[in-house]
Structures are given as C-alpha cells and as structure tokens.
Amino acid sequence: MLRRLLLILLVFSLVACSTPRGAVDPLRTARQHIEASRCEGVNRYPQAVAELEAALSADPGLVEAYYWLFLVRRAMGDETAAGQAQAALEEAVAAGRGGPAGRYWLLRIYQEQGNPEAITRTLSVMESVTQATPSDAEAHYWLGRAYYETRRTDQAVQSLQRTLTLRPDHGLAHFWLGQIYVEQGRLEEARQELDAALPHLVEKAAAYHNRGAVAYQLGDLEGATSDLQAAIQEDPEDPRSHYQLGAVYLARAIPASPFAPSDSALLEKAREEFARALELCPGMPEALIGMGNLHLLQGDAQKALEVLNQVLERHPDSAQAWYALAQAHAALGNAPDACHALDRFLSLSPPTEWAEQAGKVKEQLGCP
C-alpha cells in the first residue's frame, strides 16, 4: 500500500528550456539567479541585474534580456527601471531588431502587466508576419511559443509542427512540443519529442529533466534516474532536479512487498538529494514533503509529522502534504487525524486517481 501511495504523490514538475550556451552565458546565469531568488530567504536579484546589463552591453540585440530585466526590476520594487526595460524592448521591436523573438518577449511583458489588449495586438502582428513569411521556421517557432503562453494549445502544436516540417533539427521546437504533450498526458509522444530535441540542444539540462519526469510517469525508474543525473550534471544548482532525483530514489527504495525492508542505500541517496535541494532552495515544499515520506519509510512517523506540519504552515493548500500527513497519522494509529487530513486533501480537488486512492484509504480507516 505504501508503495502505491508514494508513487501517486511523488509528482514531477516540468522546467522551461534555457537558451544555447556561448554568447548568452550572462543571460543564462541571470536566469539562474532569478530562479534561485524565488526560494525562501534567497535574494540574488542584484546579481541577476549585473549579469543582464553585462549581456546587453555585449549584445544590445539580445532582446530576451530586456524581459528578464523587466521581471527582476519589478521583483525589486523598482517600477521605474522596469518601465525603462520595457521601453527599451518596445523600441528595439519597433526598429525591427530581435525579429519574432522580440515580439514574443514583449508579449510576455504584457502578460506580466495583465494587458490583454497589448497581448492581442502583439499576437496579431506575429500571426501576420508568419503568414507573410510561410517558409520562416523561426517565425513559426516563436508564434508557437506565443500561442502556448496564451493557452492556445492546439494552435501552438500546429505552429511547432510547422517549424519542424521546415527544420526537422529545431531542438527547441521539439522540446516545447514535448512540453505540451506531457501536459496533455501524451507521454510516449512527449518522450519521442524530447529524444529528438536532445541532439540539437546545446543547453540540455531542462530536456534531460523533463525526459526524466516522463520516464518516471511511464514507470521507467531506471531511465528517470539516468536522465535526472544527467540534468544535474548539466546544471548542478537546480534544486528541482535534485528533488526529482531524490523522489525517484525514494520510489525505487519502496519495497514491492509490505513485509520486505526498504532499500537503505537508496533511502540514503534520496535523503542526500532532498538535503541538497533544500540547501539550494531553503523551505522548498516538495523537498520537505519528500523528507516526510522518507521518515515514514524509515518508520519515524513522528518526525514525518514535524516536517509535514512545517510545510502546511507555509503552504496550507498543498495536497501532497495533506496526503502524506494522513499517512503519518495512520502509521501512528491516529485515525481521526488521518481522516481529517484525507478530507482536507479531497477538498483540494486532487487528480481522479489520487481521489480514488484516498477514498479507499478512508474506507480502510473507517472514516465517517
């Protein structure tokens, strides 16, 4: 039972694909600083600003940098500087610099601002340009990205497929098509797209990460392990890949038989990965939940409760935490508390499979 419950709850998140290494190294580093700053108690926005300004100084046509500069300045509370970054990007696009990529990043700024009229206007221009240049693979690619961002999924798929018709070796088009297929539950097709993307990407961390996530969902734990290890080798400071690898080790450690012992070596590897994720991103809820499940497997339900309650203090709507909390209470014989946790879990509208499993556990516990 425990194996089944944990396999349902170890949920993977996809990560976005980074741009190629080389002239844009400062941009890549800036994005890493921005991502790190989303973690509790981490503020590397000043370093991100320095990297973005360095990137733009070296290449003023690097239009993506203006978007991230806008985002960082906003996060720092400097709306004036954010407006300057936006104006610089608008000026670049108006002058014809950046091509379809410039319009895409401008659309992203308008999304951040909640400006539907500007989004519609920008998307319309991108559509017109693509229609006027039907053989331009990059125009189709960026239009596909814009459709994806504006939740026009069918159109995004069509544009990305058109990109690949024109340029079968377009790694990023394969990557984003795989991203969409994962979200649609088309896992085998997603894996095929990620397989096709990897040989053509210079920055491979996100593709390895996502292929590992797909492998996990397909039940290929060995493949997931290999891909997530590769993702970490490419980007050692991504806490998400460390967490995901820890989750895979944890799943592999769970005994198939309820009377067999857990694999202690794999449990230790899981602990190391969760600890590394938390070192890089303090308070990361997924990693803390992973630690809670780890304590459960090690037979320390009380320690699991302590960790899971920490998560729920900060994230009271975490379905994973409520489910794991129910497991911990059940292990301690606290049926009423376990039932309450399961009810709270179900109130969060979890996926059908999770909800059905929770219903079975409630029956076993004799919950009202």
pLDDT over 70 at 143, yes or no: yes
Amino acid making up residue 170: H
Using CA atoms, how far apart are residues 268 and 246, in angstroms rounded to an integer?
9
How far apart CA 315 and CA 325 sit, in angstroms, is: 13
Average pLDDT estimate for 296-305: 93
pLDDT at 20: 41
Cα distance between residue 72 and residue 290, in whole Å: 30
pLDDT for the residue 10: 52
The confidence band for 8, taking pLDDT boundaries of 50, 70 and 90, is: very low
What phi and psi values does residue 172 have, to the nearest 5 degrees? Answer: -70, -35
* C-alpha distances in Å from residue 76, one per residue of 47, 56, 71, 89, 264: 12, 19, 9, 19, 44
Report the pLDDT value the prediction gives residue 3, as an integer from 0 to 100.
Answer: 43
Distance separating alpha carbons of residues 150 and 212, to the nearest angstrom: 27
Whether the per-residue pLDDT at 94 is higher than 70: the answer is yes
Closest listed residue to residue 142, CA positions, set 165, 121, 123, 114: 123
- pLDDT reported for residue 243: 95
pLDDT bucket at 12, cuts 50 / 70 / 90: low
Longest Cα separation, the chain:
69
Read off the pLDDT band of 24 (50, 70, 90).
Answer: very low
pLDDT of residue 15: 64
Question: Mean per-residue pLDDT for 58-79?
Answer: 95
Q: How many CA atoms does the CB half-sphere of 249 hold within 13 Å?
A: 23
Distance CA 182, CA 164 (A): 18
* Vertex 190: Cα angle to 187 and 192 (nearest 5): 115
Query: Token pair for residue 263?
Result: 């694999």
Residue among 286, 318, 290, 314 at smallest CA distance from 304: 290
Q: Structure pTM?
A: 0.91
> How many C-beta atoms lie closer than 10 Å to residue 80's C-beta?
7
Q: For residue 313, what are its two tokens?
A: 């203090």
**Two tokens, residue 208:** 């390895």
**How far from chain centre, in Å, is Cα 291?**
20
Phi, psi dihedrals of residue 123, rounded to the nearest 5°: -65, -40
- For residues 361 and 332, give the distance between their C-alpha atoms in angstroms, rounded to a whole number: 15
Query: What mean pLDDT do residues 35-52 have?
Result: 94
Q: For the residues 167-175, what does the mean pLDDT come to?
A: 97
CA dihedral 204, 209, 215, 217 (to 10 degrees): -150
Quick one: pLDDT band at residue 22, thresholds 50, 70, 90? very low
Tens digits of residue pLDDT in 174-210: 999 999 999 999 999 999 999 999 999 988 999 999 9
Confidence band (pLDDT; 50, 70, 90) for 262?
confident
Residue 213 has pLDDT above 50, yes or no: yes
32 pLDDT higher than 80: yes
3-state secondary structure at position 281 = coil
% of the chain exceeding 90 in pLDDT: 83
Using 50, 70 and 90 to split pLDDT, how confident is the model at 9? very low
Q: Look over the chain and give the mean of its residue pLDDT values, rounded to a whole number.
A: 91
